[in-house]
Amino acid sequence: MVAYGEPQIVMFGTGNKKGYTLVQLIETSNITAHFVEETNDLYLDVFSCKPFYPVDVMDVIKNSFDPKHSETKFIVRQARLQ
């Protein structure tokens, strides 16, 4: 995945959902993340029109954040041919 431009990172929210949100455009779509400050939770969405291996994303998460627990969902979406 190749970054397109600089990431946009904004701190916002209130209560137990306050945290940093990141948006990074990539040549094949985007990566978004929200880091919840109070709970140290991370919500991550990697969306790409180009196929990728979900295990590669999890390896980066494990090596970068060393999570105590994780849940994943991988959805394959197909564009309709017209």
For 52-80, how does the pLDDT look when each residue is reduced to its tens digit (9 = 90+)? 999 999 999 999 999 999 999 999 887 67
Number of Cα atoms under 13 Å in the Cβ half of residue 76? 4
Token output for 82: 């017209």
> Of all helices (H) and strands (E), which one includes residue 5?
none
> For residue range 12-35, what is the model confidence (pLDDT) as tens digits?
988 888 999 999 999 999 999 999
For the chain, the 3-state helix, strand and coil shares in percent, each to the nearest 5, are 20, 35, 45
Nearest to 22, CA basis, from 11, 14, 67, 41: 11
Mean pLDDT (whole number) for 39-45: 95
> For residue range 1-13, what is the model confidence (pLDDT) as tens digits?
899 999 999 999 8
- Region of residue 13 (phi > 0: left; psi between -120 and 50: alpha; otherwise: beta): left
What is the pLDDT confidence band of residue 82, given thresholds at 50, 70 and 90? low
pTM of the prediction? Answer: 0.85
In this model, does residue 81 exceed pLDDT 80?
Answer: no
Domain range summary for the chain, segments of one domain joined by +: 8-65
